[in-house]
Structure 1
Amino acid sequence: MNVLLVSVNREHAPYPVFPLGLACLAGPLRAAGHRLSVLDLCFAADPEEATRQALAEFSPDVVVLSLRNIDNVTYPGSRSYLSGVRDVVAICRERAAVVVGGSGFSLMPREVLAYLGADYGVVGEGEDVLPRLLARIAAGEGGDGLPGVVARENAGFLPPHPVQAIGTPLRGLFQVERYHREGGMANIQTKRGCPFSCIYCTYPLLEGERMRLRPVADIIAEIGDLVDVHGVSYLYFVDDIFNYPLEFALELCRAMSAARLPVAWSAFINPDFLPPQLLDAMLAAGCDALEFGTDSGSPVMLRNLRKSFGIEKVREASRLCREAGVDFAHYILFGGPGETPATIAESFALMDEVAPTAVIAMTGIRIFPGTAIYRQALADGLITPETDLLRPAFYIAPTIADTLCELVREEALKRTNWVVPGLEITANDAMLEALRHFAGPGPLWKMLKLLGRRRGSVPSPWSHSPS
């Protein structure tokens, strides 16, 4: 069959993100004998017209549409993407059957399928089950009995089966060079699954709790291909936690060093698993920035968020980075269960103490079904079982719901290394886009140390709202 792969993600803040999920599907679909074409709407000036043109030129039998996010998970500046996706689905259904998948779809499959009006949906990882579904569609049959497949006429579905062997994404159909140029990096995945229990996290729901590791040799070969074929000079490891399991991270870093790959990179790091020997191995392998999923600087909040570490680990990991002279950022989530003005002050104080290159903070925690924060929100009366969570809903501790944003705004504005996207502090869409044209490859937050600005003297270009 002719299969049109459509990436509907149009978000560019802080970076346009390469559609890795679709690239992982392309290999199994091609191996099954399907003819493939790609429509990437990330850079389309008119997505509806681009969709019509792709349908006319390729005449697909099936359209496979990947939904990375349903909204920007940012409070209070939240925006949903679903209405635009629904318009694309309606155009596609005039010409072909439509199958929807991706992480955004998988979080609320019944609700998203109904809203979009697509024919089928694939929950979770699709490499194994999607070729089977397409064979059923070609034979005029439905998807009943296939794990993780939900159909328009039948909202029930069997639990998805995790993929056992994670393959190498087929990137040749996609605009790798443009994503690298405009996003400053190429993304790569080394494992799936998350055994941790952070109360807001959707990774265990999407990928399961059991970790599945890719062969290191496959990862090295993929990096080599990105460098040699696509001219990539900077990588971002999209793993939920790069440095766990520790032994695997060490093996990968040593293999990268041995391969002498001319590429720099960054990754998301758990402060709990960063002994000096791993940091040394990471730096030797080309790592030039670390992003810590710290969430809070309050001991109480770290326990409430069910983090695997305490503040001493945050201090230790930060000290190692400072001594090594490597840029690092801490990500903070404000507003979780038990948050108070005192715990907020503790987070600001700890960040002042550990002195990262940047602090990226979010106010409020997006509520998704199946997470512990969802159950907490029900218990606290913030939502009900009937709440439509396709509309962005956020957990904010009831005692500070009316004051959280102002508390964070007041303190963040006193500091030059804080970025609060929801409050447009030291970041807005227009400035991020402009910065990318002047910045080198890598995370934009690294530029905070180069700006040398003082609030209240020279007006900061970040201080202006994009619209």
Structure 2
Amino acid sequence: MKLLLISANRERSPYPVFPIGLACLAPSLAASGHELRGLDLCFSEEPIAAITAALDGFNADAAIISIRNIDNVTWPGVRSYLAGVREVVAACRERAMTIVGGSGFSIMPSELLAFLGADYGVAGEGEEALPRLLAAIAAGETVTGIPGVVLPGKPSFLPPVPVHAIATPDRTLFDVASYHKLGGMANLQTKRGCPFSCTYCTYPLLEGAQVRIRPVAEIIAEIRALVEGYGVNYLYFVDDIFNYPVAFAEELCGAMSAAKLPVNWSAFINPDFLPSRLLDAMLAAGCDALEFGTDSGAQTMLTSLRKSFSVETIRESSRLCRERGVDFAHYILFGGPGETEATVHETFSLMDELQPTAVIGMTGIRIFPGTELHRLAIAEGVVTAAESLLEPKFYISAAVRDTLCDLVTAEALQRTNWVVPGLEINISDAMLEMLRHFPVRGPLWKLMKRLGRSRIRPV
């Protein structure tokens, strides 16, 4: 078949994100004999016209539409993307069969398929399921026995099966250079699966609880191809946790150092798995910024959110970063179960003590089906079991529901290293667009140390 692979993501805040999921699908689809073209709507001024031209020009048999996110998971400044995605699907259906998938779709497959009106859906990882679906369609065979395949009007389907071998993505279908130029970095994945049990997180639901690791030699070859083929000089590892398992992270960093490739990089880090030897190996391999998924500075909240680490672990990992002079940021989620004004103040106090380069704070936690937070929200009457979560719903502890935004705003504005996207403190779309005109490499929060004062809606 002729397949048009469409990245429906148009969000560019804080960075445009290369469609690595579709790039990972391409090798298995090509190996199955399909002819592929790519269409990326992230930089398109007229997406519907672009879709029409691409489908007609290619004479595509099917449009494979990837949904990265369904909203920006930010409160109170929430933005849903679903109306735009439905327009994309409708435009495709006029000319070709439509199949939707991606991480955003996989969170609520049956509901999303019904809302979007596509012909088929593929939940979970599609490298094996999608070629099987296409082969069955071509042969006129039933598709109901394929794990992960979702059909209109049939809410029940076989659960997806995680792929064993993660392919090296084929990036040739999309514009790597634009993402590197406008986003300041290229994305790369070394593993899938998350064995942790944070109450709100969808990673274990999307990728499974078993960690599956790519061969280090393949990762090094991919980095080399990005450097030599596209001029990439900065990487962001999109693994939910880069530094777990520790032995694998050490092996990868050692191989990167030995390869002597001219790249810097950053990654998302769990404070619980950062021995000094690993941090030193990371820095030797080119790491120049760490992002900690800390969530809170109050021990009661860490326990409530089922984090694997303690306040003391956060202190120790931050101390290691300060001693080595490396930029680091802590990501905070305010409003979880048990949050009070006292725990909010505990978090601000701990961040003052740790002196990170930046703190990125979010008010409220997006509720997703299948998570422990969803079950708790039902028990507390925040949402009902029958309530659709396509429209963004956020959990905010009853103790701070009416005061959280004012409290976080008042505290964050007293500190120059805080960014609060939902409240537009030290961040705005206008500011991000302005910064993209400068050759910024890596995370934009590294610029926080240059900020003279905190402000709302910066220009």
Q: TM (normalized to structure 1)?
A: 0.97
SS at match of 2:407: helix
Where 2:143 maps in the other structure, the secondary structure is coil
Q: For residues 132 and 214 of structure 2, what CA distance do their matches in structure 1 show?
A: 23
CA displacement 1:335-389 (0-9 Å, x = unmatched): 0000000000000000000000000000000000000100110111100012110
Deviation at 1:463, TM superposition (A): 3.1
Structure 1 position 154, deviation (Å): 2.7
Task: Verify the 8 A CA contact 2:7 2:19 in the aligned structure 1.
Answer: yes
* Letter paired with 1:80: S
Q: For residues 143 and 422 of structure 1, what CA distance do their matches in structure 2 show?
A: 42
1:463 and 2:451 correspond:
no
Distance in 1, matches of 2:88 and 2:173, equals 20
CA–CA distance in structure 1, aligned partners of residues 339 and 156 of structure 2: 38
Q: Which amino acid aligns with 2:99?
A: V
Q: Which moved more, 1:341-350 or 1:52-61?
A: 52-61
Within 2, Cα distance between the matches of 1:332 and 1:110?
31
**SS of 2:399's equivalent?**
helix
Say whether the 8 Å CA contact 1:168–1:222 is kept in structure 2: yes
Shift of 1:430: 1.2
1:152 is displaced (CA, Å) by 1.5
Could you tell me how far apart the structure 2 residues matched to 1:400 and 1:316 are?
Answer: 29
Comparing 396-405 and 1-10, the one that deviates more? 396-405
Deviation for aligned residue 1:400: 1.1
Instruction: Give the Å deviation of 1:208.
Output: 0.2
Cα distance between partner residues in 2 of 1:119 and 1:141: 15
Give the aligned partner of residue 345 of structure 1.
Answer: 345
Structure 2 partner of 1:426: 426
Q: 1:33 Cα shift?
A: 0.6
Q: Are the aligned partners of 1:143 and 1:150 in contact in 2 as well (CA < 8 Å)?
A: no
Answering whether residue 322 of structure 2 is matched by residue 322 of structure 1, we say: yes
Q: Is the 8 A contact 1:439 1:447 kept in 2?
A: no
Q: How does 1:20-99 map to 2 (within 5 A)?
A: 20-99=20-99
Contact 2:271 2:314 in 1 (8 A): yes
Deviates more, 1:277-286 or 1:90-99: 90-99
Partners in 2 of 1:159 and 1:297 — Cα distance? 37
d(CA) in 1 for partners of 2:418, 2:132? 48
Check the 8 A contact 1:358/1:417 in 2, yes or no. Answer: yes
Measure the CA separation in 2 of the matches of 1:439 and 1:409. Answer: 30
Which amino acid letter does the alignment assign opposite residue 463 of structure 1?
R
Q: SS where residue 336 of structure 2 aligns?
A: coil
Between the aligned partners of 1:89 and 1:239, the Cα distance in structure 2 is: 29
Q: Is the 8 A contact 2:362 2:420 kept in 1?
A: yes
Quote the residue 1:176 is aligned against: 176
Q: Confirm or deny: 8 A CA contact 1:362 1:422 kept in the other structure.
A: yes
| Mapped partners of 2:119, 2:2: distance in 1 | 17
Q: How many Å separate the matches in 1 of 2:76 and 2:446?
A: 25
What are the equivalent positions in structure 2 for 1:93-132 lying under 5 Å apart?
Answer: 93-132=93-132
Question: CA separation in 2, counterparts of 1:258 and 1:135?
Answer: 43
How far residue 439 of structure 1 moved from its aligned partner, in angstroms, is: 4.3
CA contact (8 A) 1:121 1:150 kept: yes
1: CA distance, partners of 2:27 / 2:401 = 47
Quote the residue 1:17 is aligned against. 17
Secondary structure at the aligned position of 1:70 is classed as coil
Partner Cα separation in structure 2 for residue 395 and residue 166 of structure 1: 34
Residue range with higher mean Cα deviation, 91-100 or 343-352 = 91-100
**Residue 327 (structure 1) shift:** 0.2
Pairwise CA distance, 1:141: 3.4
Question: Which residue pairs with 2:5 in the alignment?
Answer: 5
Cα distance in 2 between the residues matched to 1:61 and 1:448? 48
Identify the residue that residue 220 of structure 2 maps to in structure 1. 220
Tell me the residue number matched to 1:162.
Answer: 162
Contact residue 114 and residue 153 of structure 2 kept, 8 A: no
Alpha-carbon separation, structure 2, partners of 1:355 and 1:207: 34
Q: What is the alpha-carbon distance in structure 2 between the residues aligned to residue 401 and residue 52 of structure 1?
A: 46
Aligned to 1:454: 453
Using the TM superposition, give the Cα deviation of residue 399 of structure 1 relative to its aligned residue in structure 2, in angstroms. 1.7
Structure 1 match to 2:307: 307
Q: How do residues 352-363 of structure 1 correspond to structure 2 at under 5 angstroms?
A: 352-363=352-363
Question: Which has the higher mean CA deviation after the structures are superposed, 149-158 or 177-186?
Answer: 149-158
Distance 2:335 2:142 in 1: 44
Find the counterpart in structure 2 of residue 406 from structure 1: 406
Q: State the TM-score, normalizing by the size of structure 2.
A: 0.99
Q: Distance in 2 between matches of 1:153 and 1:307?
A: 38
Q: Could you give the per-residue CA deviations for residues 203-224 of structure 1, whole angstroms, max 9, x where no partner exists?
A: 0000000000000000000000
Q: Is the 8 A contact 1:436 1:444 kept in 2?
A: no
In 2 relative to 1, CA 153–136 (structure 1 residues): closer, same or farther, beyond 3 Å? farther
Match of 2:371 in 1: 371
* RMSD (CA atoms): 1.0
Q: What CA distance in whole angstroms lies between the structure 2 residues aligned with 1:274 and 1:132? A: 41
Tell me if structure 1 keeps the 8 A contact 2:294–2:332.
Answer: yes
What residue in structure 2 maps to residue 203 of structure 1? 203
> Would you say how many aligned residue pairs link Structure 1 and Structure 2?
459
Q: Which runs of no fewer than 5 residues in structure 1 stay unpaired?
A: none
Alpha-carbon contact 2:425-2:458 (below 8 Å) kept: no
- How many angstroms apart in 2 are the aligned matches of 1:434 and 1:112? 35
Q: By how many angstroms is 1:464 displaced?
A: 4.2
Q: Map of 1:232-381 to 2, 5 A cutoff?
A: 232-381=232-381
- CA contact 1:195–1:211 (8 Å) conserved in 2: yes
Unaligned segments of structure 2, at least 5 residues = none
**Aligned twin of 2:137:** 137
Report the Cα offset of residue 454 of structure 1.
Answer: 2.9
Identical amino acids, percent of aligned pairs: 68
2-structure distance, mates of 1:167, 1:261: 22
SS in 2 for 1:399: coil
Matched position secondary structure for 1:160: coil
Which residue identity does 1:454 align to in structure 2?
A: R
Q: Take 1:180 and 1:110, find their aligned partners in 2: how far apart are those partners? A: 35
Query: Distance between the aligned counterparts of 2:95 and 2:48, measured in 1?
Result: 14
